Every structure is written in structure tokens, then in C-alpha cells.
Amino acid sequence: MPQATPNILLVDDEDGSRHATTKALEKAGFAVTAERDYEGASRLLQSDKPIDLLLTDVVMPDRLHGFALARMARQRRRGMKVVYISGYDVPATEAVVKVLRKPISEEALVDEIRHALAR
């Protein structure tokens, strides 16, 4: 029986990074919905759209960050898988989870997404 295509919600305020990440994930067989900010992601998370994993940038505009988005996502959708990514150093005191460092190769990103979905 064929498996359903995993649905990824990508949140990244950098247009180039969001576009490149979307293309890499789609090439790997994932369905991707990309948003540029917390507000857009929040609307999607409140909808009935299936989302298997949130891939979020840590540093975003308007003082809202990926950790807050992930907390909100997990409140609305129990068991939501989350992968964090950032172009900045994230202090160890804030990052109690693994944060992938931009730039990341397509292969490494896809491996991390597959690993997170399998957990």
C-alpha cells in the first residue's frame, strides 16, 4: 500500500532560503506549504490542512521566533513534529533541541526531515 506524501509547513522570512528549501523538499517527495511569518503559519495551523511536520526558522521578524511558533503548533496539533533551522548561533540556554545551521545541504536537510518524521 503506498504511503501518503508527508506535508511540511515551512516558515522562513528569507525569500531566497524559503524558495530553495521548498524546491529541495519537493524534489525529495514532500508536499510543502511555505509561509514567511508567524501570522501566516498560525492561520494554516488553525485550518484543517494536514501538516505532518513544522520546519521553522528560529529568528523571525516582529520579535516572534520559531520556538514560540512550535509551542503554539504543538498546542493546536498534538504530536506535531518540529525541525528548527537558523542562520544564526542559537544560545544553548534557548536551544534545548537540535537546531540545523544554515546553509545546510539538501541531502542533510532531507535526512533530518525523514528522521524527524520517523520518530
8 Å CB contact between 33 and 44: yes
What CA–CA distance (Å, rounded) separates 11 from 18? Answer: 7
pLDDT the model gives residue 24: 97
Domain span at residue 51 reads 7-118
The model's pLDDT over 26-80, given as tens digits with 9 standing for 90+, comes to 999 999 999 999 999 999 999 999 999 999 999 887 777 898 999 999 999 998 9
Asked if the structure places residue 1 within a domain, the reply is: no
Q: Is the peptide bond before 61 cis (omega within 30 degrees of 0)?
A: no
Question: pTM of the entire structure?
Answer: 0.91
Identify the H or E element spanning 70: helix 66-76
- Whichever domain contains 99, its CATH number is 3.40.50.2300
Asked if the structure places residue 24 within a domain, the reply is: yes
How many domains in the chain? 1
The model's pLDDT over 73-107, given as tens digits with 9 standing for 90+, comes to 999 999 899 999 998 877 655 555 788 999 999 99
Residues for the chain: how many in total?
119
Asked if the structure places residue 79 within a domain, the reply is: yes
Asked if the structure places residue 2 within a domain, the reply is: no
Asked if the structure places residue 76 within a domain, the reply is: yes
